[in-house]
């Protein structure tokens, strides 16, 4: 059995429904899948039902945007008790921050003469956790840009005129929140972060795992991060980071975490939950 522990749906910035994502997972021969939408767990109940129908093990997760030493870091949470009260409250706060950011970006676009409103972006997103990809899609839908890549290049990348920085929680707070909800915390795609010196510090903050396998990691990067994970006593995690179609095909299944590493992660989650008896059932 292989697992893909980094995927997204329409509940954040993916293009698949939970049902479509689960069907794709079965089609590519996976045995387990985690849903890790950005700053939300809203899609997890539907994804759990869809995975049950496809005969897949399901992991309730999320991807939290955080900050460590001035860098944006993404912390993956796995095996979460999604009804945990503080987790739900914090998710609502994170989502409001995201919605406010959409408003700020559309205001900057309007100042540039681009007639795009936050409401148009929300209509495209149709979720509580909107992000820049939804702004890009709205710009394409409005005829301002030919494709999302052009929207990012002209307006939305860091340093472009409509870019707005994110308000982020500290990495330590993100890790603590995941643990409080009975979950396991892993650093997403360290090869994209390019600040390997942060990994030991994050481990000291309670980080449990490192996403060594990722669709944008080279083989040499994967080996390097596996070595770092062993040095820092971190669990090895991995996933495709599938958001839908990429160059005409989905990324799901292009990264396959072994059954051994999946079971180690699940065992660690059970241990974490036993240490937090107040945690709600997942």
Residue 244 CA to residue 137 CA, distance in Å, equals: 14
Residue 124 CA to residue 136 CA, distance in Å, equals: 10
Query: pLDDT value at position 202?
Result: 98
Q: How far apart are the first and last CA of the chain?
A: 22
**Residue 150 CB neighbour total at 10 angstroms:** 15
Strands 62-68 and 169-170 come out as parallel
Query: pLDDT value at position 282?
Result: 44
Residue 88 CA to residue 279 CA, distance in Å, equals: 13
Query: pLDDT value at position 247?
Result: 67
pLDDT tens track, the chain, 282 positions: 899 999 999 999 999 999 999 999 999 999 999 999 999 999 999 999 999 999 999 999 999 999 999 999 999 999 999 999 999 999 999 999 999 999 999 999 999 999 999 999 999 999 999 999 999 999 999 999 999 999 999 999 999 999 999 888 999 999 999 999 999 999 999 999 999 999 999 999 999 999 999 999 999 999 999 999 999 999 999 999 999 987 678 999 999 999 999 999 999 999 877 766 555 444
Q: What does each C-alpha distance from 269 to 60, 154, 155 come to in angstroms?
A: 12, 43, 41
Residue 63 CA to residue 9 CA, distance in Å, equals: 12
Q: What does each C-alpha distance from 66 to 6, 19, 63, 76, 105 come to in angstroms?
A: 17, 29, 9, 10, 20
pTM: 0.93
Contact 221, 192 (CB under 8 A): no
> Which residues on neighbouring strands pair with residue 250, listed in sequence order?
245
Does the 91-156 domain belong in CATH 3.40.50.450? no
Residue 166 CA to residue 98 CA, distance in Å, equals: 8
CATH of domain 3-84+177-275: 3.20.20.140
66 SS3 class: strand
Contact 199, 139 (CB under 8 A): no
Q: Is the dihedral of CA 80, 234, 37, 165 positive or negative?
A: positive
Domain ranges of the chain: 3-84+177-275, 91-156
At 2, list the tokens. 């292989």
Q: With CA atoms as reference, report the closest residue to 8 among 50, 63, 51.
A: 63
Query: pLDDT value at position 279?
Result: 54
- Residues 6 or more apart whose CB falls under 8 angstroms from that of 232 comprise 199, 200, 203, 210
């Amino acid at each position: 059995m292989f697992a893909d522990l980094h995927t997204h749906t329409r509940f954040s910035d993916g293009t698949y429904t939970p049902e479509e994502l689960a069907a794709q997972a079965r089609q590519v021969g996976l045995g387990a899948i985690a849903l890790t939408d950005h700053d939300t767990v809203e899609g997890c109940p539907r994804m759990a039902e869809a995975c049950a129908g496809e005969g897949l093990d399901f992991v309730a997760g999320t991807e939290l945007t955080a900050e460590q030493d001035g860098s944006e870091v993404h912390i993956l949470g796995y095996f979460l008790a999604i009804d945990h009260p503080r987790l739900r409250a914090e998710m609502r706060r994170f989502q409001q921050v995201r919605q406010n950011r959409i408003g700020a970006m559309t205001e900057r676009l309007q100042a540039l003469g681009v007639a795009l409103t936050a409401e148009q972006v929300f209509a495209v997103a149709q979720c509580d956790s909107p992000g820049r990809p939804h702004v890009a899609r709205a710009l394409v839908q409005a005829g301002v840009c030919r494709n999302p890549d052009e929207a990012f290049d002209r307006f939305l990348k860091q340093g472009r005129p409509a870019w707005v920085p994110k308000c982020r929680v500290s990495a330590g707070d993100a890790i603590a929140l995941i643990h409080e909800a009975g979950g396991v915390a892993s650093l997403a795609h360290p090869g994209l972060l390019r600040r390997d010196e942060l990994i030991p510090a994050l481990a000291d903050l309670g980080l449990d795992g490192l996403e060594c396998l990722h669709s944008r990691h080279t083989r040499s990067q994967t080996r390097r991060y596996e070595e770092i994970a062993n040095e820092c006593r971190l669990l090895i995690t991995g996933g495709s980071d599938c958001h839908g179609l990429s160059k005409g095909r989905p990324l799901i299944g292009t990264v396959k975490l072994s059954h051994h590493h999946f079971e180690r992660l699940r065992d660690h989650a059970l241990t974490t939950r036993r240490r937090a008896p107040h945690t709600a059932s997942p």
